[in-house]
Structure 1
Amino acid sequence: MAMIGGWRVLSLFVITSLFAFEEWVSRPACKVIPSSNPGEAFEYGEDPEDLKVMMVADLLLLGPEAGYVNHFFRYYYMSKFFRKSFESLKPDLLLVLGDISAKGSELTKSKWMPVLRRFYQMLGPFVGLPLHVILGDRDIGKCSDIDVEKIKWIAKKFPGLDPSGCGAFEIGNTSFVSLNAVALLCGKNNLRFDVEKVIESESLELHMEAEGETEAAHGSINFRDAHNFGWRESTISSGSGPVLLLHFPLDRARNGHYGGVGALRTNSKLEGLNVPKRRKLVGADPYKLFQTLPANATEYIFQALKPRIIFSAHRHEFSDYIHLDKTREVTVPTMSWNAKDDPGFVVATFQKSGKAVSISYCSLARESHILLVYIFIVVILCLACLKG
């Protein structure tokens, strides 16, 4: 009898420990990634005026066909990841850099609705925060399959997106511009032209602001000269523009001097982070994971927007990359167990004064480790039942 009572006590202890384990394992582990850019020193501290932004990507949500494993295990933990991240990090803004859906490009509008409901339910406390979502290739598909009317419909479901899937907003002293990067892979079509109009509009605003500052400092300027593109390019320095948000990374092949594409795997900042290999993804990939924006589109974006810093996604792995003009591009990892054993995300803190940005890579629990714990608990409970 004493033995039976002992097993019952052990069972109760195991179940109680399971709840404690779930709370503990859902908390992210974050590590600050120092910038290799000289002169970009960030003054660390708890300044309430700094803007803290949590960035996630590639949630890869499924609709009704998700199955029990996704419904009751993976999505359950992803919701806990969001809640615990909110509680521990207290961000001011949430950015989602594309691929909310695993098969969105194949879904009808009616089948998109369960995915959207799951997405907003998963956010939990983040629903009360400013939110901005950009569209990924899995959301809207390949160039040959793009349905402009469907993109307009999807864009309306997320705050701040125009019909082309682009957006621009400002919080505090930080300006953000998001582009529909998928459209920039396509040829000459109306969607791409719409995205290019957004780039040119933001470029014009950037140059007008710079011209206003120049006029204030040096007196009046010639209006004709101020709208000469050559004049603009010579007066706007790199890093003067907005924070740029994309789903696809920019082209890096032209930057062999700084490590090129191989920097994704050899960057010294990743040492100790134990980034695992990718697993097989849910569904078919509309674009290959090594896909980047073409060199001409990349150069166009750099010249037009002079981004302060760039955040991209799609590769499912964290990367911190310095372009030839010293612009920093951070690639946000996937937050889905359907893509990697251990998901993650990025937290960017924008200093109120100056242009410094602090980047933290936050890792979340490995799915394999959690499954091992569950298997162990099941074995213990089975033994307790047999003894009882």
Structure 2
Amino acid sequence: MIALKSALPLIFVIALIVFEERVSTPSCKIVDQNPNPRSRKIDDEEEDFKVMMVANLLLMGSEAGYTNIYFRDSYTTKFFRKSFERLKPDMLVVLGDVSAKGSGSTNSNWLSVLQQFQSMLGPFLGLPLHIVLGDRDIGECNKLNAKSVNWIANSLPGLDSAGCGAFEVSNVSFVSLNAVAMLCGNNDLRFSVEKVVERESVDVQSQYKESNKGPNGPNEWREGLNSLWRESGVPSGSGPVLLLHFPLHRTSNSCGGINSLKINNGKHINESSKTSENRGLVGTGPYELSHTLPPNETEYIFQALRPRIIFSAHTHNFCDHIHKDGTREVTVPAMTWDAKDDPGFVVVTFRQNKAVTVSQCSLARESHVLMAYASVLVLLFSTALIASRSI
């Protein structure tokens, strides 16, 4: 009995280590908008290219407190490591808001945020990486500065001076846009982003015409293409994978309790924002969580780019939405306890048969981890108390 009591602290420590390893391992499930069985298998021979997409890390850099440095950041590092080991992705995409308040920080603190992020990546450092600019990174419209955006964009891989990027990996074409600038009125950054959209639109049209050119010239249009498609000659879904921080405007609430975008007196209201507001500075602003790109910019993107699929962020919650033209948009949840109690991310598999499989991955709740730590401390204290009384 005495030997068992003396061994209890060691047993608790081992149990805690095992618990930490388990809770840092993601749990993933396929979210399939297409019932085609060919797109439901993740580990078949047709699998081509797997991308892990995260968002809203909200790092504080040199301004981080002890709780973030020694607890939350430590677990985020474990999340990345265990996700890499289990899912074996080929690329990492961050859909904005790497920084909690980068737009209001000094250049040195922004660099410390990037160093903090790099230290978390672990095995991901060997993979292709793309980071989209978010509103926390570069600020609101009234604070948007082309010079500072250019400086931040230059510190990130694959972005031009306007904060946009276009690249191809493993025969999958991606376009990322500075959605923050597209929210604003007449400014140089917005015009620069629209130039990128126009340039990519020309590429989409030329690639589509080239791929559909037969021995006697371009193929005739298939029956059923609506007049909207005929205007540019490129059907919906023929363009690149589109990466944004802000979601596109949506006319219907397709996500229910997962990401409820309701309309009240003409204003969007996100039910989940009430929870985030309780988390203080990190969980709120600069923009409300219900912000989406305006309808005119949304239609402009659809007309010009004909995106294959869209990935966005900002709301902190997962959403899988089908737009009226059939284009699928997946909103990636926040991967930080600073934004919500149950962080997550998505894994996207692009296949050789052009199918796209999206898996939603969940991570441990902060409240569950804290309860486990509290339970261990109580047990250790009780054991020590019993042992002292038996002496």
TM-score between both structures, scaled by the size of structure 1: 0.89
Q: Residue 275 of structure 2 aligns to which amino acid in structure 1?
A: R
Deviations 1:245-266 (A, max 9, x none): 000000002xx4xx46758547
Deviation at 1:308? 0.4
Whole-Å Cα distance in 2 between the matches of residues 263 and 24 of structure 1?
A: 28
Deviation at 1:54? 0.4
Deviation at 1:153? 1.2
Contact 2:208/2:238 (CA < 8 Å) preserved in 1?
Answer: no
Between 143-152 and 191-200, report the one with greater CA deviation: 143-152
Contact 1:237/1:306 (CA < 8 Å) preserved in 2?
Answer: yes
Deviation at 1:376? 0.8
Deviations 1:191-234 (A, max 9, x none): 0011001000000011111222344453289xxxxxxxx99734
Whole-Å Cα distance in 1 between the matches of residues 68 and 379 of structure 2?
A: 25
Cα 1:194–1:40 change in 2 (3 A) is farther
Deviation at 1:147? 1.7
Cα 1:239–1:377 change in 2 (3 A) is same
**Could you say which residue in structure 2 is the equivalent of 1:71?**
69
SS at structure 2 position matched to 1:291: coil
The answer to whether structure 1 residue 92 and structure 2 residue 90 are counterparts is: yes
**Could you say which residue in structure 2 is the equivalent of 1:366?**
365
Q: Residue 52 of structure 1 aligns to which amino acid in structure 2?
A: K
Deviation at 1:7? 2.2
SS at structure 2 position matched to 1:278: helix
**Could you say which residue in structure 2 is the equivalent of 1:139?**
137
Cα 1:382–1:38 change in 2 (3 A) is closer
Identity %: 56
- Runs of 4+ in structure 1 over 6 Å off: none
Deviations 1:139-197 (A, max 9, x none): 11101101211111111121111111101111122111000000000111110011001
Contact 2:273/2:289 (CA < 8 Å) preserved in 1?
Answer: no
Counterpart pick for 2:191 among 190, 193, 208: 193
**Could you say which residue in structure 2 is the equivalent of 1:270?**
none
Q: Residue 103 of structure 2 aligns to which amino acid in structure 1?
A: S
Contact 1:242/1:305 (CA < 8 Å) preserved in 2?
Answer: yes
Q: Residue 20 of structure 1 aligns to which amino acid in structure 2?
A: V
**Could you say which residue in structure 2 is the equivalent of 1:175?**
173
Whole-Å Cα distance in 1 between the matches of residues 101 and 44 of structure 2?
A: 40
Cα 1:281–1:203 change in 2 (3 A) is farther
Between 343-352 and 41-50, report the one with greater CA deviation: 41-50
Cα 1:285–1:215 change in 2 (3 A) is same
Whole-Å Cα distance in 1 between the matches of residues 273 and 342 of structure 2?
A: 7
SS at structure 2 position matched to 1:168: strand
Whole-Å Cα distance in 2 between the matches of residues 380 and 38 of structure 1?
A: 49
Whole-Å Cα distance in 1 between the matches of residues 280 and 54 of structure 2?
A: 18
**Could you say which residue in structure 2 is the equivalent of 1:299?**
299
Cα 1:276–1:383 change in 2 (3 A) is farther
Deviation at 1:236? 0.5
**Could you say which residue in structure 1 is the equivalent of 2:334?**
334
Cα 1:362–1:113 change in 2 (3 A) is same
Q: Residue 130 of structure 2 aligns to which amino acid in structure 1?
A: H
Counterpart pick for 1:102 among 96, 100, 107: 100
Whole-Å Cα distance in 1 between the matches of residues 273 and 300 of structure 2?
A: 34
Deviations 1:304-332 (A, max 9, x none): 00000000000000000000001000000
Q: Residue 278 of structure 1 aligns to which amino acid in structure 2?
A: T
Contact 2:333/2:345 (CA < 8 Å) preserved in 1?
Answer: yes
Contact 2:96/2:137 (CA < 8 Å) preserved in 1?
Answer: yes
SS at structure 2 position matched to 1:101: coil
Structure 2 residue runs of 5 or longer lacking an equivalent are: 220-227, 262-271
Deviation at 1:281? 4.0
Counterpart pick for 2:39 among 39, 42, 46: 42
SS at structure 1 position matched to 2:28: strand
Cα 1:282–1:177 change in 2 (3 A) is farther
Deviation at 1:22? 0.8
Contact 2:259/2:317 (CA < 8 Å) preserved in 1?
Answer: no
Contact 1:276/1:341 (CA < 8 Å) preserved in 2?
Answer: no
**Could you say which residue in structure 2 is the equivalent of 1:115?**
113
Contact 1:207/1:236 (CA < 8 Å) preserved in 2?
Answer: yes
Q: How many residues are paired up?
A: 366
Deviations 1:51-82 (A, max 9, x none): 11100000011122221111100000000000
The answer to whether structure 1 residue 315 and structure 2 residue 312 are counterparts is: no
Q: Residue 9 of structure 2 aligns to which amino acid in structure 1?
A: S
* Residues 1-388 of structure 1 aligned to structure 2 (within 5 Å): 2-3=1-2, 5-35=3-33, 37=34, 42=39, 44=41, 45-47=43-45, 49-219=47-217, 233-253=231-251, 256=252, 259=253, 265=259, 278-279=275-276, 280-283=278-281, 284-353=284-353, 355-386=354-385, 387-388=387-388
Quote the RMSD (CA, aligned, Å): 2.4
SS at structure 2 position matched to 1:361: strand
SS at structure 2 position matched to 1:338: coil
Whole-Å Cα distance in 1 between the matches of residues 86 and 345 of structure 2?
A: 14
